Amino acid sequence: MPYSFLIVAICIIDQAVKIAVERNISLLQDIPVIGEYVSLTYVKNYGAAFGMLESQTILLSAVAGAVFLLAWFYRRQLRQYPKMLQMGIAFTLGGALGNFIDRIRLGYVIDYIDLHFWPVFNIADIMITVGAFWIVIGYLLANREHNKVHDDSGDEVVMIREETEEEQG
C-alpha cells in the first residue's frame, strides 16, 4: 500500500487519543469544549456506526479483517489510481484499523466527540468518512480521465454517445 505510513499514523493518533480519554474521562462524563456545541463525552460503542449491529464484535472484526486483506492483496494495483483515491483508502484503512484495535482489545469502540445533535464518534470515524468521500471523488476523477478522447491533433474531445434504435426500445 503506497500510503502505509498514513494508515499507521492515523491509527497511532486515534489510539493515543482514545487511551487519553479512557484514562482521564469518566464514562458518560460530559466536558464542554466549544460551549454547548461540542463536548468530550466518553462512550462505549458496542456496535458499528451509530450503534448499528450492536454486540456483533466478531462480525465487525471479520469484515474489517477482510477489508485489510483485500487492500493488501490489491496494493500494487492501487498505485495506478489517482493520489486522492489512494489517500482515501489510506484514511479509511487507518480509521478502520483504529476501531478494529478497540474491538479486539476491549470488545467495544471508544467514542468521545459529542456534537449533541449527532451520535458520539471518534477520530477513526472521521477518517473513515473523509476517506470514503475521497475514494468516491478519486474514482470519479479516474473514470473521467479514462473516458477522455483526443482527436488527431491531440486536443481533448468530449464524446457524446447517441443511443441506437436497438438501445432506445
Residue numbers annotated as active site: 111, 125
Residue type, 7: I
Q: Are 45 and 109 in contact (CB under 8 A)?
A: yes
Q: Are 1 and 93 in contact (CB under 8 A)?
A: yes
- With H, G, I as helix, E, B as strand and everything else as coil, classify residue 27: strand
Place of cell 467495544: 108
Render 31-71 in DSSP notation, one character per residue.
EEEETTTEEEEEEEE-SSGGGTTTT-HHHHHHHHHHHHHHH
Residue type, 86: Q
C-alpha–C-alpha distance, residues 72 and 113, integer Å: 31
Nearest-CA neighbor of 72 among 11, 2, 148, 119? 2
